[in-house]
Amino acid sequence: MLSPKTYFQLLAYLSVDLADVDLVINDGVPLDPLNTYLVAQRFGLKRTLNVLHGNLSLDSVWQQSSNALSRGLVYGAQNTNLCREMSSRGYFVYYSPTGAFFPPESEVTESPERRLIHLGRISPFKGTHLAIELAARLGRKLLIVGPVGDAGYFRRSVQPMLGDSVEYRGELDRADLVDLLRTSEGLLFTSTGNDSQGLVLLEALSFGLPIIATRPGTYSGLFDILIEGQNGALVDLTRPDMSSAEAVLNANRREIRAAAAKLWDWRSVIANHYNPIFEQLSHSSEHAH
Residue 133 sits in the same domain as residue 248: yes
CA–CA distance, 234 with 42 (Å, rounded to integer): 45
CA–CA distance, 276 with 285 (Å, rounded to integer): 14
- Mean pLDDT value across residues 171-191: 93
Does any domain span residue 211? yes
- Report the range of poorest mean pLDDT among 106-115, 167-176, 278-287: 278-287
CATH number assigned to the domain comprising residue 238:
3.40.50.2000
Number of C-beta neighbours around residue 254 at 10 A: 13
Q: Which residues contact 82 (CB under 8 A, 6 or more apart)?
A: 52, 56, 93, 194, 196, 219
Does any domain span residue 110? yes
68-121 pLDDT tens trace = 444 455 667 788 888 888 778 776 677 888 888 899 999 999 889 999 999 999
Looking at the structure of the chain, the number of domains it has is: 2
Does any domain span residue 135? yes
Residue 274 sits in the same domain as residue 211: no
- Predicted confidence band at 233 (pLDDT cuts at 50, 70, 90)? very high
- Mean pLDDT value across residues 225-242: 94
- Mean pLDDT value across residues 39-67: 55
Residue 156 sits in the same domain as residue 88: no
Does any domain span residue 227? yes
CA–CA distance, 196 with 96 (Å, rounded to integer): 11
Does any domain span residue 78? yes
Q: pTM score, two decimals?
A: 0.80
The rounded mean pLDDT for the chain is 78
Does any domain span residue 15? no
Contact yes or no for 102/257 (Cβ under 8 A):
yes
Does any domain span residue 4? no
Does any domain span residue 11? no
Residue 171 sits in the same domain as residue 210: yes
Domain that holds residue 87: 22-99+265-288
DSSP-assigned beta bridge partners for residue 269: none
